[in-house]
Structures are given as structure tokens and as C-alpha cells.
């Protein structure tokens, strides 16, 4: 069983690395005190981090109250898992880790790494978050890496459609053609190739020559509104879309849909039989024009997606809403400055 002092030593060492401080500045007697006092001592020595916000202190208190015994800490981890189901990190926009993330990671690491695999499977958001922290922070020598099985998209191989998952013939057919027909790099396309932005629909109207289509003028912070054609006429009226926040891909190649120019793709969630379709909804605090981010995924979007490379078609199978309706790429939330993008349709496909 871990002791308070050993836990605090890990927290102090991790925070000092995060803040680029010499660990020797920490008074030895503070390692046996509460986490809040320890945090105050470290903050006092840091020239670039002076404020102790209420939000950080909330997570300092969580770390302090976290049980040190395996028998009693799983409920606390489930609470943290629920909290992380709608955010990529504890504080901030996910582009860098916060002091709160470092403190809580340090406090719970030994408990998480010692969990049984069945219990780890019950904490997908905690594991995803911890994997992000351990890759963003230099914790070499402090913490053992926690392995995380990340989902991979395997495109279907010709000739296997309709075969049951356990069919031996199906397994044989998939193994060899997959090496020849599906280049390895195709499975590695990142969502960062897409320029997904928050937009506000200023105007919407029915397409003049297609009953299933609507035309929207969307503000994404550019000098002029961006015109987009969407297949939403069956599901939304122009009035319902007007003044609505949406997320859209703005680096698709512009083209005409039934003689009307379209300069983007509004991302929508759909249930299995497509009887219900709705645009993803950014939170009210999201800023018009901001780019949606994904925790742990960096990269520059393409200037314009190349239709011949089918980049969009290879990425969208990994876009879906989770059981709480949070929009994700491989389980990683679509994040904005105001929080995650969501849908009222849980476990939906996103296109």
C-alpha cells in the first residue's frame, strides 16, 4: 500500500518536471503534509505559475481525498471516468496538460496500473486520458507506462462482405489481400488532416432543384459567409438551422451539388437506419471559426482534401458518438474552447 509521503513525492516530482523546477526546492517536511499545502509550496517557487484557481484546487482536493487502497478507490475512478467522458483533459483545451492533470495523474497512477483488465475496461475515458498525459509529459523514471489498446480501423477486403465474423474462410481471405490491397499508411490517416471548424448558420433555404437538400450560409470567421449544401431537408427546416452552431469540414474540395456551389461539409450524427439525422452541436462557449481539437493528436490539416485519395472516406468510419452522445474520433472527443461537441443521438455514426 502506498503511503501519503510516497504519493506526495510523486506528485511533487511530476509537478516540478511540468513546471521546469528543481525538485530540491521542495521542503522535505512538506512531503508528509496534505496535497494542497504541497501544491502551494511548489507554486510559490514557480515564477511562471502564480495563480491558484478554484478549478485547480478542486482537483487538488480530489487527489488529496483519493483512497490509497485498491479496495476503496474504484468508485472514485468511476467518478473521474464520468467527468472525462465529456472532456479531453481536466482543465484547458487539450493542447497542453494542466497542473490539475499532472496532480491527478500522479495521485491515481499506482491504483490504475494495478487494476485488473476487466476493471480497466470499465474506465475507457480515464485510460484514454492517462495515455495522453504520459505521452505529453516527460515522466521518464517516475511512472511506469500504462499500456492502452487503441482501436484501429480495418477497411473491408473485397470478397468478405456478408461473411460471419468467426467464418474460417473469411479469415483466410482477409489475411493475404489485406497486405496487398490495403497499404499500411491507409490505416494511419489522422483526423488532423481534416480542418473541422465551429460555424454559425446565418441563413438557410431549400435547394432550388433538389427536395432533399438545403443550402446554408455559414459564418466561420472569414471575410464572407461560406455556402454549404447539405442533405438535411428531410430532417431539419431552414428555420431550425438558422442561428444554430454547427461543426463543418472546411477543407473539402468545393464543388457544385445540383448546380449550387458547396464549400464545406456539415458533420451530422445519424442513427443506424438513418431515420434520425442531426448536425453535431458545439457547446455555447465555442468560438465561431475555432478549429476542433483532439486530445493527443497534433498535425496540420490539408489545404484541400484530395478526392482521389479518398482521405475523408478513410477517416469517417472512425467518427462516432459515444454512449453519452459525445462526438469522437476513435473515442477521443471533438473538443472546443467551450467543451466537447455532442449530439442527442448516442452511439451514432458521424458523416
CB 277, CB 232: distance < 8 Å:
yes
In terms of domains, do 233 and 125 share one?
Answer: no
What is the number of helices (H) and of strands (E) in the chain? 10, 15
- Give percent of the chain above pLDDT 70: 79
Q: Are residues 116 and 205 in the same domain?
A: no
Q: Do 225 and 95 share a structural domain?
A: no
Mean per-residue pLDDT for 11-17? 81
DSSP characters for 260-298? EEE--EE-EEE-TTSS-EEE-B--TTPPTTPBPBBTTB-
Question: Domain of 112: which CATH number?
Answer: 1.20.1050.130
Residue 122 above 60 pLDDT?
Answer: yes
Range picked from 45-54, 123-132, 159-168, 258-267 for highest mean pLDDT: 258-267
Spatial CB neighbours of 321, under 8 Å, sequence gap ≥ 6: 269, 327, 328, 342, 343, 345, 346, 347, 348, 350
Pick the closest to residue 157 from 171, 178, 187, 188 (CA basis).
Answer: 178
Any alpha helices (H) in 137-274, and if so which ranges? 168-181, 238-241
141 belongs to a structural domain: no
Q: Based on the domain organization, do 246 and 322 belong to the same domain?
A: yes
Same domain, yes or no: 197 and 346: yes
Count of domains in the chain? 2
Strand-pair partners of 339? 336
Q: How far apart are the first and last CA of the chain?
A: 48
Range of the domain at 48: 4-136
Q: Using DSSP, state whether 169 is helix, strand or coil.
A: helix
Summarize pLDDT for 258-301 with one digit per residue, the tens.
889 999 999 999 988 888 999 999 988 889 999 999 988 888 89
CA distance 291 to 315: 17
CATH code for the domain of 261: 2.40.50.140
3-state secondary structure of 333: strand
Alpha-carbon distance of 191 to 317, in angstroms, equals 11
Q: Are residues 207 and 132 in the same domain?
A: no
Among 95, 120, 136, which residue terminates a domain?
Answer: 136
Angle at 7 between CA 2 and CA 11, to 5 degrees: 160
Q: In this structure, are 208 and 275 located in the same domain? A: yes
Average pLDDT over residues 154-163: 45
Region class of 60: left (phi > 0), else alpha (psi between -120 and 50), else beta? alpha
Amino acid at each position: 500500500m502506498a503511503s501519503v509521503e510516497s504519493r506526495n513525492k510523486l506528485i511533487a516530482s511530476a509537478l516540478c518536471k511540468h513546471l521546469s523546477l528543481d525538485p530540491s526546492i521542495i521542503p522535505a517536511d512538506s512531503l508528509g503534509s496534505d496535497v494542497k499545502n504541497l501544491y502551494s509550496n511548489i507554486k510559490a517557487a514557480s515564477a511562471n505559475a502564480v495563480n491558484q484557481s478554484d478549478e485547480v484546487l478542486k482537483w487538488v482536493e480530489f487527489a488529496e481525498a483519493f483512497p490509497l487502497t485498491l479496495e476503496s478507490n474504484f468508485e472514485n475512478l468511476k467518478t473521474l471516468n464520468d467527468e472525462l467522458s465529456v472532456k479531453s483533459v481536466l482543465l484547458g483545451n487539450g493542447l497542453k496538460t494542466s497542473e490539475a492533470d499532472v496532480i491527478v495523474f500522479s495521485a491515481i497512477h499506482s491504483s490504475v496500473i494495478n487494476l485488473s483488465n476487466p476493471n480497466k475496461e470499465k474506465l475507457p475515458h480515464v485510460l484514454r486520458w492517462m495515455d495522453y498525459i504520459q505521452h505529453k509529459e516527460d515522466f521518464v523514471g517516475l511512472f511506469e507506462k500504462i499500456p492502452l489498446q487503441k482501436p484501429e480501423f480495418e477497411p473491408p477486403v473485397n470478397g468478405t462482405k456478408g461473411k460471419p465474423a468467426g467464418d474460417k474462410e473469411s479469415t483466410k481471405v482477409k489475411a493475404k489481400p489485406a497486405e496487398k490491397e490495403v497499404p499500411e499508411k491507409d490505416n494511419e490517416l489522422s483526423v488532423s488532416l481534416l480542418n473541422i471548424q465551429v460555424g454559425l448558420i446565418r441563413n438557410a433555404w431549400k435547394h432550388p432543384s433538389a427536395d432533399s437538400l438545403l443550402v446554408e450560409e455559414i459564418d466561420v470567421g472569414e471575410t464572407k459567409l461560406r455556402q454549404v449544401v447539405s442533405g438535411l431537408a428531410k430532417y431539419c427546416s431552414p428555420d431550425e438551422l438558422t442561428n444554430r452552431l454547427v461543426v463543418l469540414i472546411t477543407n473539402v474540395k468545393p464543388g457544385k451539388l445540383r448546380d449550387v456551389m458547396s464549400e464545406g461539409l456539415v458533420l451530422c450524427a445519424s442513427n443506424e437506419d438513418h431515420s434520425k439525422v442531426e448536425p453535431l452541436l458545439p457547446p455555447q462557449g465555442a468560438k465561431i471559426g475555432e478549429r476542433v481539437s483532439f486530445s493527443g493528436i497534433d498535425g496540420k490539416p490539408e489545404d484541400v482534401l484530395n478526392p482521389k485519395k479518398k482521405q475523408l472516406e478513410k477517416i469517417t468510419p472512425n467518427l462516432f458518438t459515444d454512449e453519452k452522445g459525445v462526438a469522437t474520433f476513435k473515442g477521443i472527443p471533438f473538443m472546443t474552447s467551450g467543451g466537447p461537441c455532442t449530439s442527442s443521438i448516442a452511439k451514432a455514426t458521424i458523416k
